[in-house]
Structure 1
Amino acid sequence: MENVILIVHLLLALGLIGVVLLQRSEGGGLGIGGGGGAMSQRAPLTALGKLTWILAVGFIITSITLTIIAAQNASGSSILDRLGTQEPATDAPAPAPGLDGIDPNALVPPPSADGGDADAPLVPRAD
């Protein structure tokens, strides 16, 4: 159910973006564009304006619905419960020695050719 609402939500968002971009910028919402006239005068609502309102209301409703569903799915648990403070399951198989069955000694670099100490770490030099 959550996936269906999420898909509808995304379609409403894309539709809302498209409808807003199709409208003329002469609404005067920011004080730019448009013609003169009294400030209290409202332009008649066009078909694109009605569609914008419908898509916006649907977008808000799906947003609230997704928030409620997410809250119900998360009820009874906290993010602190998911941090891994619990003991690991005892029926899990023991990890293999080394890195996925690779011998850790095979990952050691070969000894230097100048006959230095084989156990000494390789230190980079600034030549």
Structure 2
Amino acid sequence: MLYENLVLLVHVLLAIGVIGFVLIQRGKGAEAGASFGGGASQTVFGSGGSGNFLTRMTAILVAGFFVTSLALAYVAKQKADALSDINIPATELPIESDTVTTEQPASALPAE
């Protein structure tokens, strides 16, 4: 239980970090001339070179998010297997009886 809570906490923090780093970064076509065609081919289609700090940190956070997603899926599978091992029956719908009526008596109907 503690392991699951710890992984879930790290997972949420990584998700917030990924969102933050993605929102901080500028897009490749973010220059003012990109929308007017002035040298835009170099900024949009040019090579980005080695990634800067924000790009690398985003990649690291995304990799951590992926790992914690797999860990949470593993924990959920273990819990599901544990429940099926103790033979808990599935929820059953109540059986309707012929003696139970759903109609209201005529006296309960509103007068017209």
Q: TM-score, normalised by structure 1?
A: 0.57
1:75 alignment counterpart: 81
1:35 is the counterpart of 2:40: yes
Aligned equivalents of 1:64, 1:40: Cα separation in 2: 35
> C-alpha root-mean-square deviation of aligned residues, in Å?
3.1
Residues 16-38 of structure 1 deviation map (CA, whole Å, 9 limit, x = unaligned): 0000000001269xxx8693239
More helix by share: 2
Aligned equivalents of 1:8, 1:27: Cα separation in 2: 33
User: How far does residue 42 in structure 1 lie from its aligned partner after superposition?
Assistant: 3.1
2:18 alignment counterpart: 16
Report which of the two structures shows the higher radius of gyration computed on alpha carbons. 1
SS of the aligned residue for 1:75 comes to helix
In structure 1, stretches of 5+ residues that fail to align are 86-118
Distance 1:75 1:124, change over 3 A: farther
Aligned equivalents of 2:90, 2:69: Cα separation in 1: 26
User: How far does residue 49 in structure 1 lie from its aligned partner after superposition?
Assistant: 0.2
Aligned equivalents of 2:111, 2:8: Cα separation in 1: 54
Q: TM-score, normalised by structure 2?
A: 0.64
Report 1 or 2 for greater relative contact order, CA contacts < 8 Å, sequence distance ≥ 6.
2
Equivalent residue in structure 2 for 1:49, among 55, 77, 85:
55
User: How far does residue 57 in structure 1 lie from its aligned partner after superposition?
Assistant: 0.1
User: How far does residue 3 in structure 1 lie from its aligned partner after superposition?
Assistant: 0.6
Partner letter of residue 36 of structure 1? S
SS of the aligned residue for 1:41 comes to coil
Distance 1:60 1:123, change over 3 A: same
| Alignment coverage as a number of residue pairs | 88
In structure 2, stretches of 5+ residues that fail to align are 94-105
